[in-house]
Amino acid sequence: MYPQTREAALERWSAFLPAAVEYATHRQLVVPGHPHVSRLSPALRLRLVTEEEILASLLAAHPLASVEQLVREILWRTYWKSCLEQRPSIWRWYRARVAALRPAAGPRVASITAAESGVAIMDYFTRELIDTGWLHNHARLWFAAWWIHVERLPWELGADFFLRHLLDGDPASNTLSWRWVAGLHTPGKSYLVRRSNLEKYIDPALLAEHAAGLDALDDDRAQAAPLPDEPLFPWEPVPPAAVDPGHLPDPWGLWIHGDDLAVETHPRLTGLKPRAAAAILSRPLCESFALSERRWRHLRSGLLEGVTRIAAHFRCAADFELGPPLAAGLAAWARAHRLQTVVTMRPFAGPLADELPAVEAALRAEGVSLICLQRPYDATLLPLARGGFFPFYEKAREALRLDAGPG
Ligand SMILES: Cc1cc2nc3c(=O)[nH]c(=O)nc-3n(C[C@H](O)[C@H](O)[C@H](O)COP(=O)(O)OP(=O)(O)OC[C@H]3O[C@@H](n4cnc5c(N)ncnc54)[C@H](O)[C@@H]3O)c2cc1C
């Protein structure tokens, strides 16, 4: 159901393009099969396709005015990235809280995550999440609001539950959306779940089938949970892109990872020739996040397809390693190919960026330097968020020259 190759992702997007003009009208409807939204997020998460590519094809097919809602939603992804890149301590704080809270999570967390909460529609969403690895945006909002404001459970444990199961599980979009629902992102603003809202947007037959326990969501019960105490999270500058890859010490290799599986489209790599490309799926890293089997398989097929395609593009050797710790695995690979330099796309704030110091040290011990590249899209947009989404959107719209039309 969710594309696992670049080709399938591009096909999915092309097939969705004609419906993009209807997106603003229907995108909030939760109906089985989810025909009104693209369901491209698992592919975007791995960057099997890039935000830049889908924006370009969208605006080549339609005038901005007729698809602006969809453009905005795509830029929400970049907005969350921009926020977390500039405040990575939010991510570290959240992970530390998950580690502290998880052992004492309690029976209510256990029954909700086992789809036995007694609120049938939420149990339906839980089963959909576990069985498919995906949820509609509205279902995510309702579920998170119910978890935080009705069940009064810690937002961090809910975000962790999503991150483990969502095929698009993303450190920025997921963590910061949960914080937004909780009222921690925009001071004074939280998102509440109301029965009337579910009745308006969920397919009537689906809701009728899962009506048990709905009274827990009656409108007159909606009340925001108190905000938890937190430290201040400082704003930090986005790490700059590294050297011009035109001057790479030879021989060099490409480390391919799940934050960017369309490396061959990076304009600065055109015409260059790595000796080898490698992707490593680190079992210890996946285990430390307790990723679901479904999520793990999605990542594995994405990485395998990515490294195979990218190596074919550059006509170099492809290596796919399943299991070893990232740093040790990359050091062994660099040694085997006698590399001087390893080039990669700079990972975003999250698990891979947390691994970078260890990767850098392990490569350095082999006499190998690590160079991180950044896409022009990221270099331009990641520093732009400074407050809410709409000022960011205005700046992004100008920086990307969205009003100028195709070409
Ligand atoms: C509590 C919560 C947790 C979330 N966790 C994640 C997550 O881990 N990963 C993730 O990619 N998205 C997350 N989202 C955002 C959003 O729900 C999904 O991106 C969207 O539902 C994906 O479906 P789609 O591909 O059909 O999107 P479409 O509606 O077709 O939109 C196209 C693309 O735009 C981006 N997009 C759309 N809406 C949003 C949004 N609200 N925020 C950020 N990007 C958006 C996505 O990349 C999406 O693929 C979360 C939202 C909430 C409320």
Of residues 250 and 307, which shows the higher confidence score? 307
On average, the pLDDT of the chain sits at: 95
Q: Which residue, judged by its Cα, is nearest atom 49 of ligand 1?
A: 41
Are residues 143 and 135 in contact, defined by beta-carbon separation less than 8 angstroms?
Answer: yes
- The residue-averaged pLDDT of 307-326 equals 95
Please give the pLDDT value at position 244. Answer: 64
* Polymer length in residues for the chain: 407
Ligand 1 centroid, distance to 30 Cα (angstroms):
14
Q: Which residue, judged by its Cα, is nearest atom 16 of ligand 1?
A: 137
Whole-angstrom Cα Rg for the chain = 22
Query: In terms of Cα–Cα distance, which of 249, 254, 391 is closest to 312?
Result: 254
Burial class (CB in 10 A: 0-12, 13-18, 19+), 187: exposed
Please give the pLDDT value at position 403. Answer: 86
Assess whether pLDDT exceeds 70 at residue 407: no
Please give the pLDDT value at position 245. Answer: 59
- The residue-averaged pLDDT of 302-330 equals 96
Are residues 367 and 281 in contact, defined by beta-carbon separation less than 8 angstroms?
Answer: no
- The residue-averaged pLDDT of 357-377 equals 95
Ligand 1 centroid, distance to 311 Cα (angstroms):
30
Q: Which residue, judged by its Cα, is nearest atom 20 of ligand 1?
A: 137
Pairing mode of beta strands 252-256, 369-373 = unpaired
Pairing mode of beta strands 341-345, 252-256 = parallel
pLDDT tens, 42-62?
999 999 999 999 999 999 999
Are residues 392 and 172 in contact, defined by beta-carbon separation less than 8 angstroms?
Answer: no
CA atoms within 13 A on the CB side of 118: 9
Q: Which residue, judged by its Cα, is nearest atom 3 of ligand 1?
A: 174
Ligand 1 centroid, distance to 134 Cα (angstroms):
10
Q: Identify the residues whose C-beta falls under 6 Å from ligand 1.
A: 27, 37-41, 44-45, 73-74, 76-77, 80, 136-137, 140-141, 144, 162, 166, 168-170, 173-174, 177-178, 181
Query: In terms of Cα–Cα distance, which of 77, 5, 24, 40 is closest to 300?
Result: 5
Please give the pLDDT value at position 333. Answer: 97
Ligand 1 centroid, distance to 77 Cα (angstroms):
7
- The residue-averaged pLDDT of 313-336 equals 95
User: Which of the listed residues 135, 137, 164 should we mutate to test ligand 1's pocket, taking the one with most ligand atoms within 8 A of CB?
Assistant: 137
CA distance 102 to 206: 32
pLDDT tens, 113-127?
999 999 999 999 999
CA distance 357 to 353: 8
Ligand 1 centroid, distance to 168 Cα (angstroms):
8
Sign of CA dihedral 11, 17, 18, 22: positive
Per-residue DSSP letter, 149: I
Atom of ligand 1 nearest to the CA of 141: 53
Are residues 365 and 337 in contact, defined by beta-carbon separation less than 8 angstroms?
Answer: no
Which residues, 6+ apart, have CB-to-CB distance to 15 below 8 Å? none
CA distance 218 to 211: 12
Atom of ligand 1 nearest to the CA of 41: 49
User: Which of the listed residues 136, 177, 381, 392 should we mutate to test ligand 1's pocket, taking the one with most ligand atoms within 8 A of CB?
Assistant: 177
Ligand 1 centroid, distance to 116 Cα (angstroms):
26
Ligand 1 centroid, distance to 173 Cα (angstroms):
7
Q: Across the strands, what pairs with 254?
A: 277, 343
Q: Which residue, judged by its Cα, is nearest atom 50 of ligand 1?
A: 174
CA atoms within 13 A on the CB side of 221: 15
Assess whether pLDDT exceeds 80 at residue 405: no
Of the candidate ranges 97-101, 151-155, 160-164, 370-374, the one whose mean pLDDT is the lowest: 370-374
CA distance 121 to 126: 9
Cα distances (Å, whole numbers) of residue 81 to 86, 131, 165, 173, 400: 9, 27, 20, 7, 16
Q: Which residue, judged by its Cα, is nearest atom 4 of ligand 1?
A: 174
User: Which of the listed residues 17, 41, 54, 134 should we mutate to test ligand 1's pocket, taking the one with most ligand atoms within 8 A of CB?
Assistant: 41
DSSP string, 82-131: HHHHH-HHHHHHHHHHHHHHGGG--HHHHHHHTT-SS-HHHHHHHHHHHH
Atom of ligand 1 nearest to the CA of 40: 25
- The residue-averaged pLDDT of 20-25 equals 98
Q: Which residue, judged by its Cα, is nearest atom 44 of ligand 1?
A: 77
Q: pTM value?
A: 0.97
Please give the pLDDT value at position 247. Answer: 73
Please give the pLDDT value at position 243. Answer: 58
CA distance 262 to 241: 18
Of residues 79 and 239, which shows the higher confidence score? 79
User: Which of the listed residues 70, 162, 167, 168 should we mutate to test ligand 1's pocket, taking the one with most ligand atoms within 8 A of CB?
Assistant: 168
